[in-house]
Structure 1
């Protein structure tokens, strides 16, 4: 009996799982029957268009985006279509889908988190992979709300044991000295970021007297029903680095990427 082939694409807050064929080629008795692709959203504008924390941590003016905060950008859509085209070629090579024709009913299923950027990412991916084909993207809750399948919130009771276990795990993954040790190892990186942002002359330094990122205390915030959070230099620094990377990926003029300090 002929076995059906199926492709399942999920657009979520997860990492892309790279696909490769050598493990199958090593044993010709194995047959690839299904593929599960998990992907993050494409290039987006900063989630809150820089927000108060980043705005008050620099004397510079953050460049403006043409796309509303958190939404997929036009370039993000184009890149996602290229990604879809790449995967279509790979899927055709593995004979999971036809090289030119549209997939048959039930052969491809695309399931997205219900945020606009993830739905748009999935639509662009499907459009690039299967142009002209009538393939829908499924989302299962109200648009703008997190689908529980993709929602990284804490569902367990946050009791003393949970906090102890979670903090031990976080510190273990942070390496020697836990988060405090990580912050010390990142001191040269923090200093570079402070120079780029003119942090010494920012409102955070002048008014709040927080002038050295590496010396600021950090804490992990654990609340049932919410995503894990962190306070301190890692929060601001990762937000700034994220903004710089998005500027670069979006194709901002290099004079505007980190204000030309690149």
Structure 2
């Protein structure tokens, strides 16, 4: 059995959190089905925080991150190592299932690696492909210069109908009451207090210049 085409998409969207592989081995299909195509969605691996030390978010707590091996929002060295291991796992699984051979070099268009145009996702795809196809010199596809969000992976609503608005406001009201979104916030006071304590907010640099109030 051979896969005719395979596509890997490395996303920065929470809508694409699944790192699913095909669920069944070829033997499970019997003679009734033939696996022809497979799409794998995956999130990027370990990255550094979106904001570095000295930023507004960094000053919300007196605690400091350790020195990351990458710039803010970029894939870390450890993330690259782990993603290479993930690619090696896919390689071993596909080889053991008879879907490709060891040190396989796919034909043109047989396998595609499509990443969001962020450094962390492009790098993740590069490390993954190196682990899975170490001698194939895979090209990572992305649409824009790093680091610009690809609309394909950007979970934004492009069309909103009156019916959608009505249903959305109805669901917000069921959680926040007449106060809507503010009501939802008031219902989370206990959670905010937990965060405040964990961050030692009162001792943060921002506490010297800003007033934090939780009602």
What's the TM-score bracket when you normalise by the shorter of the two chains? 0.7 to 0.9
SS at match of 1:60: coil
Gaps of 5+ in 1: 216-262
Deviations 1:205-227 (A, max 9, x none): 56543243xx4xxxxxxxxxxxx
Q: 2:4 maps to which residue?
A: 5
Please say if residues 24 and 30 of structure 1, whose CA atoms lie closer than 8 Å, have aligned partners that are also in contact: no
Distance 2:147 2:120 in 1: 9
Please say if residues 11 and 121 of structure 1, whose CA atoms lie closer than 8 Å, have aligned partners that are also in contact: yes
Distance 1:154 1:21 in 2: 31
Deviations 1:17-48 (A, max 9, x none): 42243487555122222210111111111112
Distance 1:116 1:34 in 2: 28
Normalising by structure 1, report the TM-score: 0.66
Structure 2 counterparts to residues 83-232 of structure 1, below 5 A: 83-156=86-159, 163-169=165-171, 180-181=183-184, 184=187, 187=190, 189-202=191-204, 207-212=209-214, 215=215
Structure 2 counterparts to residues 65-76 of structure 1, below 5 A: 65-76=68-79
Q: CA RMSD in A?
A: 3.2
More contact order relative to length (CA 8 Å, sep ≥ 6): 2
SS at match of 2:187: helix
Distance 2:123 2:61 in 1: 32
Number of residue-to-residue matches in the alignment: 208
Normalising by structure 2, report the TM-score: 0.78
Gaps of 5+ in 2: none
Distance 2:206 2:8 in 1: 43
